[in-house]
């Protein structure tokens, strides 16, 4: 019997691997950005899963509920930070892609001299 | 109440103020004042960190629950290098970037770069380290793209993709660390990892070192550096080559020596370092653009420092840190002077610099002195630091150490040839008749860097104990 | 060729990770916390006064991370504004340059706008009680402004005002954190304001105030990002004085 966190772990690693594969193989710059976002989602899922506790509750105190059985709140705070950082990087990358398109007329990495690696 | 927090809040608040006031001159003065103040503050704390057994620790909530900041000899030393190089580079920028399109944003982003640099050496929390690392990366991406021509934009994009892959890996490593230790404080993780399953630690270490290694431009993941450092404005190349990659190297190394101490990374790092030296020097030798040459030389120098640090002996680490200081001053000088060569001739290629040395006598002199020191010619600082590294390697012995020594000597020969080639062009008969010398702020800034490079030997009695204490801090997590 | 190399590299990486799976992700089922989260849950009420433990961590326990996060947003907004300012051919704008969104979108947007802003403010203000807080609340408020841009009801944002809000909120965050130096245990981000009644709106000391700052900052930065990508002309970057 496979448990909930195991499913989540496997999913998150698959997402990370799919994202990294996309980054390595795609030539369209927008797709590279999207692939990085997929990898980011995998990371976020991995972080949230770290805090999983069987039958745990949301880590918010509400009147009339005992607070002892909560999931780990720390990874959730980390995920918030990670999402915001991902947003910042994505916004900057997309702007760069727009600038590259405006100047070179293409977003095909194989036709951009500076982007061969 | 003065605390190490000032190193983070100071530059950040200044950046906000700059955007709020939105005046070029005000931003310039603020930037100069803040870097000078922080440099003096770090200098004044240096004796304290040398005497005290325990460093200054600041946290509103103590360690595993909150985020501690800790100032030790390594942190104070790096803070001095960062603040003072930034001060000089900003002084240089005041004339170099006179006609720039967005000067206020420039100074603000440089301030945020500084904030992240200080944060990286001060923090003792793995996730907080990641946050500062991201600020460092994002400000670098923006500064690399500054000139907004297609080579700068593409270099920045390439850098961003590699950097993002690196930070993805770093986050996986952090997740593994949290899984193992149940805490994000480096001390707790180090303790948990020293007892954890070996394979798990290896995976976390490889992922983390890859992530940090991208920014430190360590050999296999350095492909972004030549493009990025050569298409950025020269003041930024000086900052990036002068302390950003070195800082990442130091942070990487401290984590390797403490958190991942269970697995013996040193032989691996030594091999990577040797490969870096050879690849860097050979590639630099083949370049025709002055800044690309300097950028490849930075890869080799990072390899040299990594080699010294990874020898694993205190004297090796000490020599490596002194080399770091020397490289920060020498490479900044070279990039800053090269910036004016490009500005005056409008060309990135060395063959267009014929006769520049005679038209710009001070620039030529500074370039020559810094180059001699970088090569390691006797009376200059670079000789003593390189000698220290070689001595440490000889004392250690062993196959890898001797391969390293051979590569360093070979690299030095190549370095001497290509730097001398530039020098030869500068004083060749040539047409560049109507070029002017650098303006005085730039001359002052470069001259101060050159002072360190030339008279470093006389500073050695002061610098050696500091480097010793800092080397000690590399393997101890206070 | 690239695909093959990529696959090989990732295959090796995946194999490495999967071979570790049994030790790393042992099928232990945890029914209690052994991490640093446990002492945090226990001390959250006393230290921060916030009913939402995640908020307590984000703002107070790991407040430095949040300051860094805000800085990341700030620096990327600066970068986007800088890079987008000289886009001659506004790629994004051309998608709906001649399109005002039509009657339905316009009317719907106008009706929804106050409610979206209201919900945003509510989420910011209840960050210490319920899921949400400064980041999602700020995003919601920025969404409302984005609808205005989409429907063509507003064509240019007041960038001076946005810059003012953004930087003042940032300075406000630092200032609220610096209040901690006045407490018994002087340090940055110590919660010295009165904590009020636990689990009520007026509680948790400085947490709602910091979240308000974060909300303002996120909203104004997202608006800067979106509008510098959509507006025509050179409105993207603040007009800088070169003197």
Please provide the DSSP assignment of B121-145 as one string.
HHB-BHHHHHHHHHHHHHHHHHHHT
Q: What is the mean pLDDT of residues A40-61?
A: 84
* For residues C42-57, average pLDDT: 80
Read off the pLDDT band of C75 (50, 70, 90): very high
pLDDT value of position C61: 85
Helical H segments across B259-289, by residue range: 266-285
Confidence of residue C31 (pLDDT cuts 50, 70, 90): low
CA distance B285 to B299: 12
Q: Nearest-CA distance from C222 to chain A in Å?
A: 10
Q: What is the mean pLDDT of residues B439-444?
A: 85
Place C234 in a pLDDT band, splitting at 50, 70 and 90. Answer: very low
The confidence band for C21, taking pLDDT boundaries of 50, 70 and 90, is low
Q: Extract the tokens encoding A28.
A: 């369209």
ipTM of the complex: 0.92
The pLDDT of residue C237 is: 43
Lowest mean pLDDT among B61-70, B172-181, B319-328, B446-455: B61-70
> Beta partners for C203?
C196
- CA dist B153 and B144 (Å) reads 8
CB contact under 8 A, A74 and C57: yes
Task: Tell whether the model's pLDDT for residue A1 goes beyond 70.
Answer: no
Considering only CA atoms, which of C165, C170, C168, C173 is closest in space to residue C145?
Answer: C165
> How many other β-carbons are positioned within 10 Å of the β-carbon of residue A20?
23
Alpha helical stretches, state H, C48-196 = 53-56, 63-84, 102-125, 134-150, 159-178
Residue C192 has pLDDT above 80, yes or no: no
Nearest CA to C40 out of B175, B64, A49, B123 is that of B64
Rounded CA-CA distance B132/A20 in Å is 23
What pLDDT is stored for residue B142 in this prediction?
92
Side-chain half-sphere of B176: how many Cα atoms within 13 Å? 29
CA pseudo-torsion sign A38, A44, A49, A55: negative
Provide the H-helix boundaries in B123-244: 126-144, 150-181, 186-195, 198-216, 224-231, 234-239
Residues from chain B contacting residue C82 (CB–CB below 8 Å): 102, 105, 142
Q: Is pLDDT larger for residue A1 or for residue B1?
A: A1
Return the domain boundaries, chain A.
Answer: 4-57+70-115
For chain A, what is the radius of gyration of the CA atoms?
19
Nearest chain A residue to C129, by CA: A60
How far is C36 from B477, CA to CA, in rounded Å? 19
Task: Please report, for residues A5, A9, C142, the alpha-carbon distance to residue A2 in angstroms, rounded to integers and kept in the order given.
Answer: 9, 11, 42
Q: Return the residue in B2, B7, B15, B66 with the most chain C beta carbons within 10 A, the one to mutate for interface testing.
A: B66
Contact by Cβ (8 Å): C224, C77: yes
Q: Read off the tokens for B388.
A: 């220290």
Q: In angstroms, what separates the C-alpha of C108 from chain B's closest C-alpha?
A: 35
3-state secondary structure of C216: helix
C116-150 pLDDT tens trace: 999 999 988 888 888 888 888 999 998 888 888 77
In whole numbers, what is the pLDDT of chain B averaged over residues?
86
Reading the block at residue C160, the tokens are 């001076």
Query: Cα distance from C48 to chain B (closest Cα, Å)?
Result: 11
Q: Which of C197, C181, C189 is nearest to C213 (CA)?
A: C189
Burial, A2: exposed, middle or buried (Cβ in 10 Å; 0-12, 13-18, 19+)?
exposed
**Rounded distance, CA B402 to CA B413, Å?**
17
- Closest CB from B138, B150, B184 relative to A89: B138
Q: Give the CA-trace dihedral at B290, B294, B299, B303, to 10 degrees.
A: 140
| C-beta atoms of A73 and C129 within 8 A | no
Radius of gyration, alpha carbons of chain B: 21
pLDDT in tens, B27-39: 889 999 999 999 9
Chain B nearest-CA residue for A111: B154
Instruction: Output the six-digit token pair for B462.
Output: 């002061």
Helix or strand (DSSP H, E) at B116: helix B103-122
Q: Is the pLDDT of residue B136 over 50?
A: yes
- In angstroms, the CA B81 to CA B77 distance is 6
> Residues, chain B, total?
478
Q: Which two tokens stand for residue B110?
A: 């440089």
Calpha distance C171→B135 (Å, rounded): 18
pLDDT tens for residues B192-230? 888 877 778 888 888 888 888 888 888 778 888 888 888
Q: Can you name the residues that pair with B58 across neighbouring β-strands?
A: B69
pTM (global) more than 0.95 = no
> What is the distance between the alpha carbons of residues C194 and C160, in angstroms, rounded to a whole number?
35
8 Å CB contact of B172 and A46: yes
Q: Under a CB-based contact definition with an 8 Å cutoff, are residues B3 and C189 in contact?
A: no
Are the CB atoms for C211 and C134 separated by under 8 Å? yes
Query: With contacts defined as CB-CB under 8 Å, which chain C residues touch A83?
Result: 135
> How far from chain centre, in Å, is Cα C52?
17
Q: Do C242 and B13 count as a contact with CB atoms less than 8 A apart? A: no
Are the beta carbons of B227 and A47 separated by less than 8 Å? no
Q: CA–CA distance from B302 to each of B32, B277, C43, C106, C108 (Å)?
A: 28, 8, 45, 58, 59
Task: Please report the pLDDT score of residue A90 as a whole number.
Answer: 92
Which pLDDT does position C90 carry in this prediction? 52
Task: Taking each helix axis as running N to C, give the angle between helix B126-144 and helix A73-104, from 0 to 180 degrees, rounded to the nearest 10.
Answer: 10
Three-class DSSP category at A106: coil
Report whether B282 contacts B416 (CB < 8 A). Answer: no
User: Is any Cβ of chain A less than 8 angstroms from the Cβ of B127?
Assistant: yes
CB B303 within 8 A of CB B276: yes
The Cα–Cα gap between C176 and C211 comes to: 11
Q: Is B141 at the interface with chain A, CB within 8 A? A: yes
- A8 token code pair: 């989540």
Q: Which two tokens stand for residue C23?
A: 């030790």
Number of H-type helices and E-type strands within chain B: 19, 2
Nearest to C211 by CA among C179, C161, C169: C169
Q: Which of B129, B79, B139 is nearest to B107 (CA)?
A: B139
pLDDT at C70 over 50: yes
Q: How far is Cα C230 from Cα C79, in angstroms, rounded to an integer?
A: 15
Q: Say if residue B54 is exposed, middle or buried (CB neighbours under 10 Å; 0-12, 13-18, 19+).
A: exposed
Chain A closest-CA separation from residue B303 CA (Å): 21
Nearest CA to B304 out of B331, B329, B276, B332 is that of: B276
List pLDDT tens digits, range C159-180. 788 888 888 888 888 888 887 7
Spatial distance between the Cα atoms of B188 and B197, rounded to a whole number of angstroms: 16
* Dist. CA C238–CA C236, nearest whole Å: 7
Q: Which of B246-250, C65-69, C155-159 has the lowest mean pLDDT?
A: C155-159
Query: What DSSP string runs through A63-75?
Result: TTS-SSSB--HHH
Nearest to C117 by CA among C225, C226, C219: C219
SS3 of residue A82 by DSSP: helix
Instruction: Give the class (CATH, top level) of A4-57+70-115.
Output: mainly alpha
What is the pLDDT at residue C240? 43
Res B280 pLDDT > 70? yes
Residue A111: which residues within 8 A CB-CB, separation 6 or more? A104
- State the DSSP code for B473: H
């Amino acid at each position: 019997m496979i448990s909930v966190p195991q499913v989540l772990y496997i999913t998150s690693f698959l997402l990370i691997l799919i994202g990294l594969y996309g980054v390595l193989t795609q030539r369209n710059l927008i797709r590279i950005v999207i692939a990085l976002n997929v990898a980011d989602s995998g990371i976020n899922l991995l972080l949230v899963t770290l805090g999983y506790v069987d039958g745990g509750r949301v880590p918010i105190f509400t009147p009339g509920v005992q607070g002892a059985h909560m999931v780990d709140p720390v990874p959730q705070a980390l995920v918030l930070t990670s999402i915001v950082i991902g947003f910042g990087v994505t916004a900057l990358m997309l702007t760069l892609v727009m600038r590259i398109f405006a100047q070179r007329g293409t977003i095909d990495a194989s036709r951009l001299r500076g982007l061969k690696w | 109440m003065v605390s190490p927090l000032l190193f983070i809040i100071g530059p950040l608040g200044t950046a906000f103020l700059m955007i709020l006031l939105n005046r070029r001159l005000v931003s310039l003065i603020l930037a100069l004042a803040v870097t000078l103040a922080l440099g003096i503050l770090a200098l004044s704390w240096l004796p304290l960190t040398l005497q005290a057994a325990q460093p200054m620790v600041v946290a509103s909530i103590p360690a595993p629950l909150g985020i501690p900041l800790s100032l030790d000899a390594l942190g104070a030393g790096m803070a001095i290098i960062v603040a003072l190089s930034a001060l000089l580079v900003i002084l240089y920028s005041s004339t170099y970037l006179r006609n720039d399109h967005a000067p206020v944003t420039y100074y603000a982003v440089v301030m945020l770069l500084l904030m992240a640099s200080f944060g990286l050496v001060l923090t003792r929390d793995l996730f907080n380290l990641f946050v500062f690392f991201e600020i460092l990366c994002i400000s670098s991406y923006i500064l690399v793209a500054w000139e907004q021509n297609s080579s700068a934009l593409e270099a920045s994009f390439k850098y961003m993709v590699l950097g993002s892959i690196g930070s993805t890996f770093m986050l996986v490593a952090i997740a593994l660390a949290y899984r193992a230790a149940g805490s994000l404080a480096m001390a707790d993780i180090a303790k948990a990892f020293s007892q954890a399953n070996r394979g798990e630690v290896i995976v976390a270490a490889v992922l983390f070192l890859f992530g940090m290694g991208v920014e430190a431009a360590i050999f296999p993941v350095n492909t972004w550096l030549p493009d990025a450092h050569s298409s950025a404005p020269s003041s930024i190349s000086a900052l990036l080559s002068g302390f950003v990659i070195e800082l990442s190297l130091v942070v990487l190394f401290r984590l390797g020596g403490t958190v991942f101490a269970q697995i013996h990374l040193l032989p691996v790092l030594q091999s990577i370092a040797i490969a870096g030296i050879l690849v860097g020097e050979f590639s630099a030798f083949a370049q025709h653009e002055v800044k690309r040459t300097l950028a490849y030389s930075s890869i080799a120098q990072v390899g040299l420092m990594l080699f010294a640090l990874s020898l694993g002996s205190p004297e090796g680490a000490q020599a490596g840190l002194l080399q770091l200081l020397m490289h920060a001053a020498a490479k900044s000088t070279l990039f800053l002077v090269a910036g004016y060569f490009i500005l005056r001739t409008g060309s990135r290629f060395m063959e267009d610099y014929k006769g520049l040395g005679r038209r710009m006598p001070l620039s030529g002199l500074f370039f020559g002195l810094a180059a001699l020191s970088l090569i390691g010619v006797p009376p200059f600082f670079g000789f003593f630091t390189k000698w220290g590294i070689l001595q440490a390697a000889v004392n250690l012995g062993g196959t890898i150490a001797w391969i390293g020594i051979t590569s360093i000597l070979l690299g030095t020969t190549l370095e001497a040839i290509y730097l001398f080639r530039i020098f030869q062009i500068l004083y060749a008969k040539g047409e560049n008749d109507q070029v002017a010398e650098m303006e005085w702020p730039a001359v002052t800034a470069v001259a101060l860097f050159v002072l360190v490079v030339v008279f470093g030997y006389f500073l050695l009695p002061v610098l050696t104990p500091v480097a010793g204490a800092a080397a000690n801090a590399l393997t101890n997590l206070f | 060729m690239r695909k093959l190399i990529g696959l090989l590299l990732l295959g090796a990486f995946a194999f490495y990770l999967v071979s570790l799976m049994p030790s790393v992700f042992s099928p232990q089922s945890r029914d209690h916390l052994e991490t640093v989260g446990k002492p945090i849950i226990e001390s959250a009420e006393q230290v921060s006064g916030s009913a939402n433990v995640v908020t307590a961590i984000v703002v107070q326990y790991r407040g430095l991370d949040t300051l860094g996060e805000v800085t990341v947003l700030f620096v990327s907004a600066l970068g986007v504004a800088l890079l987008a300012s000289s886009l001659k051919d506004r790629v994004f704008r051309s998608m709906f340059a001649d399109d005002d969104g039509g009657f339905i979108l316009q009317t719907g947007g106008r009706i929804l706008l106050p409610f979206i802003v209201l919900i945003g403010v509510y989420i910011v203000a209840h960050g210490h009680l319920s899921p949400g807080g400064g980041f999602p609340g700020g995003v919601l408020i920025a969404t409302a402004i984005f609808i205005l841009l989409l429907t063509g009801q507003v064509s240019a944002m007041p960038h001076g005002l946005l810059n003012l809000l953004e930087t003042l909120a940032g300075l406000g965050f630092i200032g609220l954190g610096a209040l901690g130096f006045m407490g018994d245990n002087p340090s940055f981000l110590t919660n010295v304001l009165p904590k009020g009644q636990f689990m009520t709106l007026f509680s948790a000391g400085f947490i709602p105030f910091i979240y308000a700052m974060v909300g303002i900052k996120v909203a104004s930065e997202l608006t800067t990002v979106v509008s510098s990508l959509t507006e025509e002309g050179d409105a993207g970057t603040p007009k800088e004085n070169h003197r």
